[in-house]
Amino acid sequence: MNISSDVIKRIAAARRIAVLTGAGISAESGIPTFRGEDGIWKKIRPEELASMDAFLKNPALVWEWYEYRRKIIRDVTPNAAHYTLAEMEKHLPHLSISTQNIDGLHQRAGSARVYELHGNILRNRCNNCGRIDQNLDLGKDKKRPTCECGGLIRPDVVWFGEMLPADILDKSFEEAQNADVYFSIGTSAVVYPAAQLPVEALHNGAYVIEINLEPTPLTSRVHAHYHGKAGDILPELWQAVKNEIGRLDP
């Protein structure tokens, strides 16, 4: 891979780095993406499953999708891209990750400063009173589990038409506004407001780098883009940055 010395120097000199990740960063761990080739579950688009309308219309179908994905997520492990970001956080002055993923793999890889924009699939929440329930037996409730208050229990994730957690979104925008270098990794960059974060970073003078298998609506706007697997590109990029830091600070 040809990494320009400008990219390497920018990362090595950055005081603050912020990262947006999407489903593509977990693809090499074996978790299907939403919109890629492997991304359509039973040929149903995410927009038809990830909404309160879909859940109210057919809770059993939506629960089936989440149970299918929970099983995959419990069985997989973080990959080289997750581990590289965790290592970068330890060695660079400040690095945060705003993730659209609900799989918890950044935390399992050792990243500490992680903002989960779309929630976490391993938690359940009552749609009425907000009570969090981690130990839900779906079988017992015939795929329509209800809370003590009578409300429907749902996965603690953010669906289309729902607000993202305000504190986490605010923090993510703050990180984007203050970043010297911003990475967008493994996201199709079509779902808002997350897709606005790299644009916000651009508007505030950050050097923006995209790593994705294919071009996205963001590609033409960034300073540098790498088309390939995050698990190949990030470790190579980080190795080059470590060499540069070593050269500057022997």
Binding site for ligand BJW (CB under 6 A): 22-24, 27-28, 33-36, 39, 46, 50, 100, 102, 118, 157-163, 186-188, 190-193, 211-214, 216, 229-230
Indicate whether 151 belongs to the interface with Zn ion (CB under 5 A).
yes
CA distance 164 to 207: 26
Binding mask 26-65 for Zn ion (x = CB under 5 A): ----------------------------------------
Q: Answer positive or negative: Cα dihedral of 101, 1, 110, 166.
A: negative
For residues 77 and 29, the answer to whether their CB atoms sit within 8 Å is: yes
Choice between 70 and 131, CB closer to Zn ion: 131
Q: Is 248 in the site for Zn ion (CB under 5 A)?
A: no
Q: Which of 221, 177, 225 is nearest to 197 (CA)?
A: 177
Contact 27, 73 (CB under 8 A): no
Nearer to ligand BJW, 214 or 248 (CB): 214
147 binds, among Zn ion, ligand BJW, none (CB under 5 to 8 A by kind): Zn ion
Q: Is 128 in the site for Zn ion (CB under 5 A)?
A: yes
Catalytic residue among 91, 94, 118, 225: 118
Residues present in the chain in total: 250
Say whether the peptide bond before residue 235 is cis (omega within 30 degrees of 0).
Answer: no
106 included as an active-site residue: no
Q: Which of 44, 60, 112, 129 binds Zn ion (CB under 5 A)?
A: 129
Dump strand ranges (E) for the chain: 17-21, 95-99, 114-116, 119-126, 132-133, 153-157, 181-185, 207-212, 224-227
Q: Is residue 153 close enough to count as binding Zn ion by CB under 5 A?
A: no
Min. distance of Cβ 123 from ligand BJW in angstroms?
12
Least CB distance to ligand BJW at residue 90 (A): 22
Backbone angles phi, psi at 225, to 5 degrees: -135, 145
DSSP-assigned beta bridge partners for residue 44 = 41
Instruction: Using CB under 5 A, list all residues that contact Zn ion.
Output: 126, 128-129, 131, 147, 149, 151
The residues annotated with a catalytic role in the active site are: 118
